[in-house]
Every structure is written in C-alpha cells, then in structure tokens.
Amino acid sequence: MRSIFVNLPVADVAASRAFFDALGFTFNEQFCDESTACLVIEQNVFAMLMTHERFGDFVIGEVADPRKTTEVLLALSADSREEVDRLKAAALANGGAEWKEDQDHGFMYGASFTDPDGHVWEAVWMDPAVVEGSAS
C-alpha cells in the first residue's frame, strides 16, 4: 500500500501542532522534531509540517508564501455534514480563517478554511449513495 506525504512550510511548528490537535488530528512522533511535525490525516496519509528553513532544504528556489498565493488545495473527506461543520468551527476557533463560502450541492457539502499559515483546507462530505452510483 502506498502512503502520501504532503509537505507544507509553517512559521511555527508548535503552533501548527496545537492548531491541528484542536481539530482532532494526531502526530507520528517518530517523524517529529523541533523543525518538523508529522500530522496523521489517515492511516497512510500525512502532512509534514516543516519550518520554512527545513522545507527549504527540499526545494529549489523560494518557499511560497500561502498568504500571497495558493500553492495547493488540501481536501479532506468527511463522514457527514456535521463533521464538515465541526472541522471548520474548530479551525476558526483555533487560529484558522474563512476562505470561501460553504458549498451545498445537496449530494455534496463542503467548507473551506485556512490554517494559521494560510494553507487552504477543505472538508467535503458526499452522499454515499451518489458516490456508489445508486442514487438517481
């Protein structure tokens, strides 16, 4: 089974850890130190939150400033509309910010926010019957 590691530059690793902890996520301490935190999103999906300096060790050129440009949209599936709302509310209560208006398409519902560093996160619920193709 493959794993995915999304790497994101952050200004303050401890503050980022506190933000994502407040959203209910955990960290793999095996891959954490003072310059990096390994956010566990799902069994094989991780976000490596790295200081700008550490992130710079992996890239050529400048490290993007997500407050000035959108470098990636990180979409997380949710089990319900309520979970979408819970994630957004927790983000906003813990240093995140509104990004776009919530989207309600009936069969799909989503909300977006930025983390304290300006990275865009979306929480999305889709009706399982539509996903499985059994809805008309």
Residue 131 has pLDDT above 80, yes or no: no
CA geometry: angle at 69 spanning 64 and 72, to 5°? Answer: 80
pLDDT in tens, 91-112: 999 999 999 999 999 999 999 9
Handedness of CA 41, 113, 91, 84 (dihedral sign): negative
Half-sphere exposure of 129 (CA within 13 A, CB side): 5
0.75 surpassed by pTM: yes
Domains of the chain: 1-62 (3.10.180.10), 64-136 (3.10.180.10)
Q: Is 30 helix (H, G, I), strand (E, B) or coil?
A: helix
